[in-house]
Structure 1
Amino acid sequence: MTVTWQGVYPAVTTQFNDDLSINFETTKVMVDTLIKEGVDGIIALGTVGENASHTREEKIAILKAVQEVVAGRVPVLSGVAETSTQFAVEFSQECEKIGIDGLMVLPGMIYKSCEAEAIHHYQQVARNCSLPIMVYNNPVTYGVDVGIEGMKVLAEEPNIVSIKEATEDTRRISELYSAFGDRFIVFGGVDDIALESLMLGCTGWISGLTNVFPQESVAIWKLAQQGRYTDALEIWRWFLPLLRLDTVPKLVQCIKLCEQLAGRGSELTRAPRMPLTGEERANVERIYNEAVATRIDLSKFNLD
């Protein structure tokens, strides 16, 4: 299976109306703006997209809306975050019917799988749909690590083509390349080690804060691709306090609040997620305001 995913893929938020129904038009405007600002792909219904807070019917409607506005300009991947392997298979088949470009598959939700169970989960999704699949390996959040030996098993599935590497251990990136060469497309999946991940060979970056500052994210990617690490570091050091907001339990609220502050969306989330208040909210506002006040002029890097 030939897949050429690379670059910056924001894990986009799902926008809501005041009654917490889905605001499809605002979601579509947000996605369109991100593409116009240079992102290379879209991840819908990831963690940041509040996948688990939607019904099956809502998920399909969101994907159709995103697919409509993207109109083939960049790849669209859907998160697959279901409570059982059977539900994951069924949802993946629905994604295939509507023509999504690929899947970012998580382990089964709620129940904490062991590695063998997670491998079986990924195998069943892969064997029951033909879409290209990205394995989302995030032991910090989901409690199971599919290691190198596990990925050797999954390498036998031809449509498992990619891995979102989110162990927070950058050594794993080198281990993946040493074990598999170019068998898998490797995306960095942790915002605050993204530049290090790109330096180690990741061909892409899946990001939450790209929703707020897409041009800076794309600039870091381009500079890293060109080997211009001194220039990339200048943007990176400015960006890092914001990127750390993607690594905390309330990352969705943090990112959506920043979107609201930037005039790019609403902070509304579905329960059990609640709005940030008190010191938590003040801290995010402080980080955002400091970033805006010290924002770097990207034109000096001559990236066009």
Structure 2
Amino acid sequence: MWSGILPAVTTKFTTEDTLDHAEMERCFGLLIEAGCDGLIVCGSLGEGPMLSHDEKLAVLKTARSVAGKKPVLLTINEATTRDATSLARRAADAGVDGLMVVPSLVYHTNERETVDTLKAVAQAGGLPIMVYSNRLAYRVDVTVPIMEELAKDDLFVAVKESCGDIRRTTEIINAFGNRFAVLTGVDNMAFEALAAGAVGWVAGLVTAFPRETVAIYRLMKAGRWEEARAIHRWFRPLLDLDVSTYLVQNIKLAEVIEIGSNDRVRLPRQPLAGELRAHVEKIIRDAIASRPKLPLV
């Protein structure tokens, strides 16, 4: 459950800004068919902060209907601990397999506040938790000392490491061995993180390019690094689209071009336009035109 390729899926909307469950079923199904190891809904890429709790649980239900026996995680990314714990309880009642938890979305918590918030969510949901550590986007860094506190609670089982410093993967493994499953959460650092010992990849561009993403992971785990590196070098311009203020719009545009989906987003976001759209579209189309043949793995 805490390894492999776990797509951070996009949330699909109708032209009336309601949830498009039919399109989500189709897109989620492509990921499962390509060999992804589970689904994570309502994260940053899934526009979770723009969704109501009812909408998040509805997306969860759709994902569970598609995933079969593979795990589905719900992201807890609320502004307040009260709302985070409420959603954790409801997600547990809805049968979610686990939670990915952002310590604090708006207020930048200190170490004590970070630990207490995470423990409150764990207690409320009673579910296994992957902590989302992203000091760049959310200004809260789940450091090794913080993880020492979390290690005392068996519900904390994994970390999505997105601090932007590849050395952190090694630091966590050196400090805790296999106590925590370390998954990389930055697309354009995934190759390096897997080489350093990460056991999974919470991926973004996978929603448009699932077979390439799965191939890199499986080749790395099989020790076929040269083959994985060749795919990664081709993939890198696309993976860079994940590290952007416009990651949601970038990746949804990739879904438009590659899998025939739409790039509707929830306001205040708007689809890419003008020169920026043309620039991103060129990156995507150039990559598609030069995509490598994938080896059997």
TM-score where L is the length of structure 2: 0.98
Whole-Å Cα distance in 2 between the matches of residues 279 and 157 of structure 1?
A: 49
Whole-Å Cα distance in 1 between the matches of residues 125 and 20 of structure 2?
A: 30
1:14 paired with 2:4, answer no
Determine the structure 2 residue equivalent to 1:169: 165
Determine the structure 2 residue equivalent to 1:183: 179
Deviation at 1:108, TM superposition (A): 2.1
Q: Do 2:91 and 2:125's aligned partners in 1 also have CA atoms closer than 8 Å?
A: no
Q: Runs ≥4 in structure 1, deviation > 6 angstroms?
A: none
Determine the structure 2 residue equivalent to 1:200: 196
Amino acid at match of 1:115: E
Amino acid at match of 2:223: G
Report the secondary structure of 1:262's partner residue: helix
1:235 paired with 2:235, answer no
TM-score where L is the length of structure 1: 0.96
Q: Do 2:185 and 2:203's aligned partners in 1 also have CA atoms closer than 8 Å?
A: yes
Count of aligned pairs between the two proteins:
297
TM-superposition CA deviations, 1:57-98 (whole Å, max 9, x none): 1111111111112232x1101110111111111101111001
Determine the structure 2 residue equivalent to 1:142: 138
Determine the structure 2 residue equivalent to 1:24: 21
Q: Do 1:137 and 1:163's aligned partners in 2 also have CA atoms closer than 8 Å?
A: yes
1:35 paired with 2:38, answer no
Deviation at 1:262, TM superposition (A): 1.4
RMSD of equivalent CA atoms: 0.9
Determine the structure 1 residue equivalent to 2:44: 47
Whole-Å Cα distance in 2 between the matches of residues 26 and 292 of structure 1?
A: 22
Report the secondary structure of 1:284's partner residue: helix
Q: Do 2:99 and 2:128's aligned partners in 1 also have CA atoms closer than 8 Å?
A: yes
Whole-Å Cα distance in 1 between the matches of residues 144 and 2 of structure 2?
A: 21
Determine the structure 1 residue equivalent to 2:210: 214
Determine the structure 2 residue equivalent to 1:83: 79
Whole-Å Cα distance in 2 between the matches of residues 127 and 279 of structure 1?
A: 48
Determine the structure 2 residue equivalent to 1:113: 109
Deviation at 1:56, TM superposition (A): 1.2
Q: Percent identity?
A: 41
1:248 paired with 2:244, answer yes
- Structure 1 residue corresponding to 2:258, chosen from 254, 259, 262: 262
Amino acid at match of 1:165: E
Structure 2 runs not aligned, ≥5 long: none
Whole-Å Cα distance in 2 between the matches of residues 128 and 221 of structure 1?
A: 34
* Mean CA deviation greater in 169-178 or 115-124: 115-124
